Amino acid sequence: MAEYPENTLPALRSALELDARHVEFDVQLSADRQPLLLNDSNLQRVAGVDRNVLEMTWKELAAVAVTEPERFQRRHSDIGIPTLAQAATLLGVYPAATAFVEIKRASLRAFGAQIVVRRICEVLKPVVRQCVLVSADLTAIHEVRRLSSFRIGWMLSEYSSLSALKSEALVPDYLLCDRQLLTQTTSRLWRGPWRWAIANVTSLEDAISVAGRGARLVATSAFPRLLREYRAAPIPPRA
């Protein structure tokens, strides 16, 4: 993501070629129910076009270049919006890799959890063993569990005692939490049958810190830099 527009095939391919064992991308549905890799429901930020993705067909969206003009200016000019099927095909080339696939709330509100989850599960069925379906929406997570055998992850909107109780009831495979939601204490993350993945980790020092609290995975937009820091450490910390 630091080097290519987010949620694009070049960004995913770059991470996988660097031997990232886990990647993450976001999914929205087009007006004709095509699952696509997009975070925002509006194209303004990623394409400079003020259009609602959920009201556009895949044919219309296929002509849009996602260049993130504010971040990259004119560095990229010909990168399109990938379909979820294209991402699944790429993932299949790297059988040791796992993808965290985030189901976005905008699509859930527009089309309903059952339709969105069913379409995503259909497309990802060939790589079911390589995917974890995640969302901040508990209804969607329950729908994934009801309709499929995919592993699930819940994205916390707050790190609180109430969220801990909900986690114990849900028993997800993964709990995902933004680094900024964690307090600056040394206490361990909630224990349970799940694995923790902490997002927006920006340094090796921070990665080691959250690992010491019980995190199994960290997510970063600067994977190449953190990888270089890890390899350059006098005694590489335990992963």
For residue 5, name the pLDDT band (cuts at 50, 70, 90): very high
List the chain domain ranges. 1-154, 156-239
The pLDDT of 109-129, averaged and rounded, is 98
Backbone torsions φ then ψ of 219, nearest 5 degrees = -110, 140
Q: What is the pLDDT of residues 22-80, one digit of tens each?
A: 999 999 999 999 999 999 999 999 999 999 999 999 999 999 999 898 888 778 878 99
Residue 236 has pLDDT above 60, yes or no: no
The verdict on pTM exceeding 0.85 is yes
CA dist 190 and 206 (Å) reads 18
Contacts of 138 (CB under 8 A, 6+ apart): 154, 166, 170
Report, at the CATH architecture level, how domain 1-154 is classified.
Alpha-Beta Barrel (3.20)
Q: What is the largest CA-CA distance in the chain?
A: 53
Residue 88 has pLDDT above 80, yes or no: yes
Element of type H or E holding 139: helix 138-147
Residue 239 has pLDDT above 60, yes or no: no
For residue 186, name the pLDDT band (cuts at 50, 70, 90): low
Q: Is the Cβ–Cβ distance between 51 and 42 less than 8 Å? A: yes
